[in-house]
Structure 1
């Protein structure tokens, strides 16, 4: 049962192979088993690759099964269409397009399995890339807010500088009227005279202005600080909204690119393994000598080819004979007086009718 199934997978003609020896049947059963298990590996690889895309087991398994059947059909077609010839170079030339197709299939099959085998290493590379993208994303978003925040900081600094300047002015006026009272400066008369009062009033007026300035500037600074808080909140919101995009940066293409960041030698050996599996049925047929099945298949095809050529030759002879007979028949008819007289009579009547119709038409015009 299993042997018959694998022979069916090999694409061999079962009606011919059943009449061959067990060794010949086992050879094609082995070829069919290789084709079958290659399709199974292709289905598994495609299912994993599609799972990284759809994140759904059922969808990935369904399309993976379809892909496995497609690879099975291609491999079966490739193996079954290779015919043994008397010259190895002719066989190799015949198999070269199929070998190229087998290489492409091996690449397609091996790549998803490489992604699964090196999954942990790929996750590490992806984590580093995500961290880099996160930092770059924060810097890029910060460039939108930095000029505005710098402008606000400059305004706050200007308001504080204005208060500091006013405080310096008030302190100078305070020192001036105190020095006047102590007789150290100004009139150098100790006591609170008219000059002292004038300077004291000037200081008090400046002090009132300082108090009012502090109040107004404090309100402005508070407003600007609130703006900075709002900008910081907007910045965090944009970072939080864009972070899921970075977190989901682990699709099929991202994983393939991450795999390319790893050392190439292990991946290359895995590719060689699948290439050997995929091309083994082809090379098995190429390097094996002509077997009993090949001779019987060649004999059956030659018999059909000869029969077709015979039918084509017979049809050509029949057609040429028919042409020759027709030529003789029509040649004999040209010499019969009865047929000539009948055709002459019909032609005379036709010309009369045409002349009568022309006469009636001309009479109607006049």
Structure 2
């Protein structure tokens, strides 16, 4: 059993190590000829690059899920984002070369460090949203409650003046009835007092004055009954209008409430996170910043290793070969120029060439003179 398991474990470890070395962006051909320790160093750098990309994938997927509310879309875009971060980190690490001066190395790495800080911010923020999700939900709940009350008050301002106006009309109609009832009650007391002889003529019995006051009361009573009938009809109509306005108010509140309930998007959560204490978020950012910049600082702080010397040897060999080729071409060009100048100077002193060119020049001038003469003759 052991003899079968150990080779497979070694193969898996070897393949994993090769994968992480590829993630580090190093030259695998050169690194294969280096020591195991040197290979392990770059495998560790590659593992950091890989797991940073995995964290970027998780963070982007969660952030995009809060936007699209769809698992497949969030995972697809998150995977693309993870590949982008992986490529950037791999590029950053692979382009840092060991120099003979620490100052030169810091100058070389400074743009990469700035880019690493930006990537750390982008990666850490969505994960902060997930880590502090409960606290953010509490903040969003309070904000939603405030928005709900504010929304209800704003909608109420659209309906309250009309409702108050209609209620005032009901009050006026009811006051008319009350006033008329008071008048009828007063007339009733008057004619009763007249009949009892306690007021008016103070004659006991139902005389002419009593009859007059009784008729006046009865007429007022009929007016009161008619007024009640008319005003109750008007009040019922007004109450119907008030009920319709309240229904419209409730409908608008119900219609707008889903907008408030959906107030939990990415921007709302980022703003809610900003209202929480900054120290925990800052520590999370520092963690991802350390993860993101660790491959860079690992290469900066580590001394020149076997891989660095071999890589420098390969690069300088190519550079030397290119410089030599360029120099040889320059020497060849300069030699060719010198020879050409000497050859043409020698030819310029030969009489045969001089006479030949003199003859051709004379023929050319004769042709030009003949052509000019023919043109002038045609013009005349």
Structure 1 partner of 2:75: 61
Please state how far the C-alpha of 1:216 moved relative to its aligned partner: 1.2
Please state how far the C-alpha of 1:350 moved relative to its aligned partner: 2.9
| Further displaced range: 82-91 or 230-239 | 82-91
Alpha-carbon distance in structure 2 between the residues aligned to 1:71 and 1:158: 74
Alpha-carbon distance in structure 2 between the residues aligned to 1:351 and 1:150: 113
When the two chains are superposed, the root-mean-square deviation of aligned CA atoms in Å is 1.5
Structure 1 partner of 2:237: 223
Give the secondary structure class of the aligned counterpart of 1:348: helix
Structure 2 partner of 1:101: 115
Please state how far the C-alpha of 1:191 moved relative to its aligned partner: 2.0
Structure 1 partner of 2:217: 203
Q: Deviations over 1:203-239 (max 9, x none)?
A: 2222221111111111111111111111111111111
Alpha-carbon distance in structure 2 between the residues aligned to 1:102 and 1:116: 22
Structure 1 partner of 2:253: 239
**Residue 115 (1) aligns with residue 115 (2):** no
Q: Deviations over 1:115-146 (max 9, x none)?
A: 11222222222112111111111111111111
Alpha-carbon distance in structure 1 between the residues aligned to 2:56 and 2:28: 26
Please state how far the C-alpha of 1:257 moved relative to its aligned partner: 1.5
Aligned ranges 1:33-72 → 2 under 5 Å: 33-72=47-86
1:297 to 299, 311, 325: 311
Please state how far the C-alpha of 1:106 moved relative to its aligned partner: 1.1
- Structure 2: 5+ residue stretches without partners: 1-14
**Residue 309 (1) aligns with residue 329 (2):** no
- Structure 1: 5+ residue stretches without partners: none
Structure 2 partner of 1:159: 173
| Further displaced range: 342-351 or 142-151 | 342-351
The TM-score, its normalising length taken from structure 1, stands at: 0.96
The count of aligned residue pairs is: 366
Q: Deviations over 1:260-279 (max 9, x none)?
A: 22222222222111111111
The TM-score, its normalising length taken from structure 2, stands at: 0.92
| Further displaced range: 306-315 or 320-329 | 320-329
Aligned ranges 1:132-147 → 2 under 5 Å: 132-147=146-161
Aligned ranges 1:347-358 → 2 under 5 Å: 347-358=361-372
